[in-house]
Amino acid sequence: MPFNMLPTVLKGKMECTCEGKQLTPLINQAVQTGITIEDIEWLDEHRIRLSIPLSQFFSFYKLMRQAGNRVRITKREGFPFLWKRIKKRKFFVLGFILFFILILLFTSFVWNVKIEGTEKIPSRHVQAMLKKQGIYPGQWKMRLPEREEVQHQLLSQLPQASWVGYRVEGTRVVVTVVEKKLAEPDSDAVPDAGPVHLVATKNALIYDMQIERGYPLVEVNDVVQKGQTLVSGIYGDVEDSKSRRIVGAKGKVWGEVWYESSVVIPLERKRKVYTGERDRAQYPYLFSYVVKNPFVKEPALKNVDVIEHFHFLKLAEWTLPLGWVVVEKLEAEWMAEKLTVNQAVQEGLVHAKEDLLQKIGLDGRILGEKVLQKRLENGKVYLKVHFDVIENIARIQPILQGE
């Protein structure tokens, strides 16, 4: 690009005041010689203000001085003068550029991962899953996975979650988990849902009743069928609309219920045990990388379980992606363990009880158990166990219009 075609801000421009005689003929002569003169303004009969490109200023100055006129510079504009000032303050400018680069660099990393909405799901469990996907403090924001991929992976690995949100706010990643609302098995009573009946959820023998409201239709030691009304939410004569009063039922009805569970326990299995051999080391942690010394030989351990503890430096409220990591390696081995038939039966009973207690909730209890069938086949013990259980068998059923 020719120099004359450059913008004025790049070429530079001088604003000056000329004082003397015969200014008009001198300006005409300067224009005829190719000097560009702009922004001409007469101050009085012998003074004029004008602007001249920096490259032509010295030619114009020489012409004026030869005629005996004075030229005084009043203003300098353009990149050449800015560059001159920058060179005088180069350390300040370099510091400003370095500060800008550091700000740009630090804002390119994830400094904090925040997890919201977890009450029953452990936050550490969610953090471990996020780290496997490459979301952790010190990670480049450019290397973060896509939002849809993160949500899909978390939902598939968190059956307790109904929805997972993922967003990036500056240098912070925010993961919002909405947990599924489960019925509380240890609630003191059946929720008050207004005009409802209490009906049986399964076949049972009535063991005990605690009715707060409603008209009981069964008594203790009665045998009831699934779906049978236990407590009516209507007082008075059902057929007489004047004496009938709908109040709704509320309470608990415990029934004696019978379960059968099948359990399979192998007599031989492998169990992981730690040998006691371990190695502990500390390494610097810079952004998303662990800096290890390549000249240090690591101990020869087999079947190692690695435990990492990250420690990040902090600057006020900011967690920097710098620090150190403590790496602990534990040597483990698999040992074969053999059970006797009696040990397998006892372990099978424990597993069956644990599964059953999860079904009946904290409000129920096991009265007794009996092994109905026990057989040994292909190195495994097969059990069929009968349980006698007390649990709350009442559930609400809305009173339909017209009842």
pLDDT > 60? residue 79: yes
pLDDT > 50? residue 86: yes
* Mean pLDDT across 115-144: 85
* Mean pLDDT across 233-246: 64
> In this structure, what is the dihedral angle of CA atoms 80, 81, 84, 89, given to the nearest 10 degrees?
-130
Share of the chain above pLDDT 90, in %: 8
Q: What pLDDT is attached to residue 256?
A: 92
Q: What pLDDT is attached to residue 387?
A: 92
pLDDT > 90? residue 362: no
pLDDT > 60? residue 354: yes
Q: What pLDDT is attached to residue 260?
A: 92
Which CATH superfamily does the domain covering 3-83 fall into? ACT domain (3.30.70.260)
Q: What pLDDT is attached to residue 187?
A: 43
Q: pLDDT tier at 259 (50, 70, 90 boundaries)?
A: very high
Q: What pLDDT is attached to residue 243?
A: 56
Main-chain phi, psi angles of 277, to 5 degrees: -80, 130
Alpha-carbon gap, residue 373 to 262, rounded angstroms? 9
Q: What pLDDT is attached to residue 140?
A: 83
Q: What pLDDT is attached to residue 205?
A: 92
pTM, two decimals, is 0.43
The CA radius of gyration of the chain, in Å to the nearest whole number, is: 43
Q: pLDDT tier at 31 (50, 70, 90 boundaries)?
A: confident
- Kindly state the tokens that stand for 143: 């290397």
- CB–CB of 223/196 below 8 Å? no
For the stretch 190-209, pLDDT in tens is 444 557 888 999 999 999 99
Q: pLDDT tier at 3 (50, 70, 90 boundaries)?
A: very low
Alpha-carbon gap, residue 290 to 334, rounded angstroms? 30
Q: Do domains 3-83 and 112-179 have the same CATH topology?
A: no
72-81, 221-230, 288-297, 304-313 — which one is most confidently predicted on average?
221-230
Name the fold adopted by 112-179.
Ubiquitin-like (UB roll) (3.10.20)
pLDDT > 80? residue 34: yes
Q: Which of 5-9, 86-90, 141-145, 171-175 has the lowest mean pLDDT?
A: 5-9
More confident site: 314 or 386: 386
Alpha-carbon gap, residue 61 to 106, rounded angstroms? 52
For the stretch 169-193, pLDDT in tens is 878 888 888 887 654 444 444 444 5
* Mean pLDDT across 214-240: 81
* Mean pLDDT across 302-321: 76
Q: What pLDDT is attached to residue 244?
A: 65
Contacts 24+ apart (CB under 8 A), 311-315: 311/285, 312/137, 312/138, 312/285
Among all chains, which residue has been given the structure tokens 């992606």? 321
Q: What pLDDT is attached to residue 242?
A: 59
Q: What pLDDT is attached to residue 186?
A: 44
pLDDT > 80? residue 154: yes
> Considering the chain, what is the average pLDDT of its residues?
81
Alpha helix (H) residue ranges in 120-223: 123-132, 147-157
Nearest alpha-carbon partner for 134 in 105, 160, 118, 113: 113
Estimate to the nearest angstrom the gap between the alpha carbon of 177 and the chain centroid.
8
Q: What pLDDT is attached to residue 403?
A: 53
Q: pLDDT tier at 60 (50, 70, 90 boundaries)?
A: confident
Nearest alpha-carbon partner for 112 in 130, 138, 147: 138
Walk across the sheet containing 38-44 and list its strands: 38-44, 47-53, 13-19, 70-77
More confident site: 21 or 199: 199
* Mean pLDDT across 91-96: 76
More confident site: 34 or 6: 34
Q: What pLDDT is attached to residue 7?
A: 58
pLDDT > 80? residue 351: yes
Domain residue extents for the chain:
3-83, 112-179, 196-255+394-398, 261-268+338-391, 271-336
Strand residue runs (E) in 170-213: 172-179, 196-200, 204-213
Q: What pLDDT is attached to residue 237?
A: 55
pLDDT > 70? residue 9: no
